[in-house]
Structure 1
Amino acid sequence: MDRFEAMAVFVKVAESDSLSAAARGLGLSLTSVSRQITALEQRLGTQLVVRTTRRLALTEEGRLYHAQARRILAEVEEAEQALAAQQAEPAGRLHVGAPTLIGRLRLAPLLPEILGRHPRLDVDLTLTDRPVNLVEDGIDVAIRIGRQPDSSLIARRLGTLRMQVCAAPGYLARRGAPATPADLAGHDCLVFAEAPGAASWPFQMPEGRVMVPVSSRIRANSLDAVVAAALGGAGLVRAPSWQLADAVAAGRLVPVLTGYERPSTPVQALFLPNRLLSPKIRLFVDFLAERWGGGEFGPGTGPAA
């Protein structure tokens, strides 16, 4: 059994609806594909695929093996491309993961520029606010906010993000401005959160970082939604300063509690150590570092001002 070929066949099967669909995509007979999967399972000593008359499904072991096999095949493809092109022109598909807001407003508008420069490069962009696993999710480069506990990843700083608390002038005229974070207990707060539960906002106090409970008059899993509610006078919102900058400049929102703001948080590109020499990853991260400038995200960061 050719282990590399069997691995490629398995990945195709895992990403197809059936063995016959995989066979057609590979230009092989159904018998050949089935034999390769069976031989691979025997070699690994575990079942990878559950076959039924109508469809197939991966076992838990099959899902784990698929993630690793897909990464290995991608690395082999990149190595061959790098040698063929002598690393002169990055090529292939780059899988990028990013937080929803930064991805939509700061990253996506830059993609036409880099793709125009490099016509052999393709990008798959996944926007999600949940942490991603680079191996299991098949992500080449992940854009993340905050310091990362996973020291096994390579991190490159791209910029910083500062959070502000703001409210509309009309709301502050009705309810007054909080003088200290403790005053938030008597205010309507507009909370960005992925899940229900008690809400709290971090502030910088003399004793250090303090989480202050807030009452969530409106809770949403979209920063756009809570910022829009703040603009309408519904309450106080805590959001990235660059997202609020235009409204603050126009007087539609007023910053409060500025003396209690936390230090800026790093925005980083993360990638696996064994992908460090990948031309397309290096090119993409260098491009973002150049365009974002390494400083605080603001309304002039990139073309999506």
Structure 2
Amino acid sequence: MDSLAAMATFVRVVDAGSLSAAARSLPSSLTSVSRQISELEQHFGTRLLLRTTRRLALTEDGRILYERAKSILTEFKEIESTLSRRDHQPTGRLRVSAPTLIGRLLIAPLLDDFLHRFPSLSVDLLLVDRVVDLVEEDIHLSLRVGHLPDSRLVARKIADLQMVLCASPAYLARRGTPQSPADLEHHDCLVFSGTPGAAVWRFKLDQDAEYRIRLYGRIWVNSLDALVTMAKHGAGIVRVPSWQVGADLAGGHLQRILRRHEPAPTPLHLLFQPSRLPSTKTRAFADFLVDHWLKRDPFVAGVDGHEEN
């Protein structure tokens, strides 16, 4: 059995939805397609597909093989493409994911320059404020904020993000300036989340001690842009990345509060698919971002902004 060919056929069957549709698209005979699936099942000693007169479904083992086979086949194509290209210029389609705000403000404006440098590349930019599954969603490169509990991920740290608390001068004049994290319980806090309920904000106390406060904010929004706009109009206190509000702090539209209690910076990583050879196009985009941000670090903006207390 040609294992690679059999896996390619298996993936085609799942994507097509039936053996006959896969046979037509390959093109190949229905008998050949059916035989390769049977050989795969015999090789792994497990049922991969559930066949009925109406539909075709994956077993649990079939789902595992499907996801891994797609990754293996993609990696093989990238190796083949890299070794066969004489000029080693990146080609094809690159799938990138990023948090919405970072993607919109810091990545999207750079894509024209990137594509001008690499005219044989195309980019799919997925902007989502959730953790993506690089393998299942076929993402080549992902920007992720926070510490990485999964050691299997191939990561490259590119920045530290400082979260800051700020409010408008009008709000602080009306409600007073918090002197400690506990004072926030008596203030209007604007919370970033897509699921209203209780939020936990973390703060630094003396030395290594950490203070956590559970907030039941009156306003919950799944957009940092909207929260900052409301904060500037006096709706309450917002917790956002310092780089996002650098101009507003410098211009006096917002004032930074509780600076001495700010938590340690949060890392920002570039993530690559585990167990995958970084392709030429993936390395090109990663190097492009890092080189651009080294010249002008966009993540330090606002760190030295004015503080009210």
Q: Same fold (TM over 0.5)?
A: yes
Per-residue deviation, 1:296: 5.4
SS where residue 214 of structure 2 aligns?
strand
User: Bigger shift: 36-45 or 76-85?
Assistant: 36-45
Per-residue deviation, 1:2: 2.1
The answer on whether the counterparts of 1:67 and 1:138 sit within 8 Å (CA) in structure 2 is: no
Counterpart position of 2:217 = 216
2 CA distance for matches of 1:34 and 1:232? 65
Q: After the TM superposition, which residues 169-180 of structure 1 pair with which residues of structure 2 at under 5 Å, given as runs?
A: 169-180=169-180
- Encode CA deviations 1:231-276: one digit per residue, 9 max, x unaligned: 3322111011122223333332222112222232221112246435
The answer on whether the counterparts of 2:204 and 2:211 sit within 8 Å (CA) in structure 1 is: yes
- Encode CA deviations 1:140-180: one digit per residue, 9 max, x unaligned: 22211123233333322222211111112222222112122
User: Bigger shift: 248-257 or 270-279?
Assistant: 270-279
The answer on whether the counterparts of 2:190 and 2:237 sit within 8 Å (CA) in structure 1 is: yes
1 CA distance for matches of 2:34 and 2:103? 41
The answer on whether the counterparts of 2:157 and 2:270 sit within 8 Å (CA) in structure 1 is: yes
Counterpart position of 1:303 = none
Q: Which amino acid aligns with 1:289?
A: V
User: Bigger shift: 77-86 or 167-176?
Assistant: 167-176
Structure 2, unaligned stretches of length 5 or more? 303-309
Counterpart position of 1:199 = 199
**CA shift in 2, pair 1:58/1:224, >3 Å:** farther
The answer on whether the counterparts of 2:48 and 2:61 sit within 8 Å (CA) in structure 1 is: yes
Q: Which amino acid aligns with 2:114?
A: I
User: Bigger shift: 275-284 or 60-69?
Assistant: 275-284
Q: After the TM superposition, which residues 1-305 of structure 1 pair with which residues of structure 2 at under 5 Å, given as runs?
A: 1-86=1-86, 88-208=88-208, 209-272=210-273, 274-293=275-294, 295=297, 297=299
SS where residue 293 of structure 1 aligns?
helix
Alignment RMSD, CA only?
A: 2.5
User: Bigger shift: 68-77 or 78-87?
Assistant: 78-87
2 CA distance for matches of 1:22 and 1:81? 24
Structure 1, unaligned stretches of length 5 or more? 301-305
- Encode CA deviations 1:177-204: one digit per residue, 9 max, x unaligned: 2122111010011111243432121122
**CA shift in 2, pair 1:92/1:200, >3 Å:** same
2 CA distance for matches of 1:242 and 1:202? 19
The answer on whether the counterparts of 1:82 and 1:279 sit within 8 Å (CA) in structure 2 is: yes
2 CA distance for matches of 1:273 and 1:61? 20
**CA shift in 2, pair 1:252/1:144, >3 Å:** same
- Encode CA deviations 1:63-85: one digit per residue, 9 max, x unaligned: 21111101111111111111111
The answer on whether the counterparts of 1:275 and 1:281 sit within 8 Å (CA) in structure 2 is: no
**CA shift in 2, pair 1:229/1:50, >3 Å:** farther
The answer on whether the counterparts of 1:152 and 1:273 sit within 8 Å (CA) in structure 2 is: yes
**CA shift in 2, pair 1:122/1:202, >3 Å:** same
Structure 1 residue runs of 4 or more that deviate by more than 4 Å after TM superposition: none
1 CA distance for matches of 2:240 and 2:21? 47
The answer on whether the counterparts of 1:90 and 1:280 sit within 8 Å (CA) in structure 2 is: yes
User: Bigger shift: 140-149 or 129-138?
Assistant: 129-138
The answer on whether the counterparts of 1:160 and 1:296 sit within 8 Å (CA) in structure 2 is: no
SS where residue 267 of structure 2 aligns?
strand
Question: How many pairs does the alignment contain?
Answer: 300
Per-residue deviation, 1:3: 1.5
The answer on whether the counterparts of 1:11 and 1:70 sit within 8 Å (CA) in structure 2 is: yes
SS where residue 275 of structure 1 aligns?
coil
**CA shift in 2, pair 1:105/1:17, >3 Å:** farther
User: Bigger shift: 174-183 or 241-250?
Assistant: 241-250
SS where residue 97 of structure 1 aligns?
strand
Q: Which amino acid aligns with 2:227?
A: V
1 CA distance for matches of 2:173 and 2:22? 65
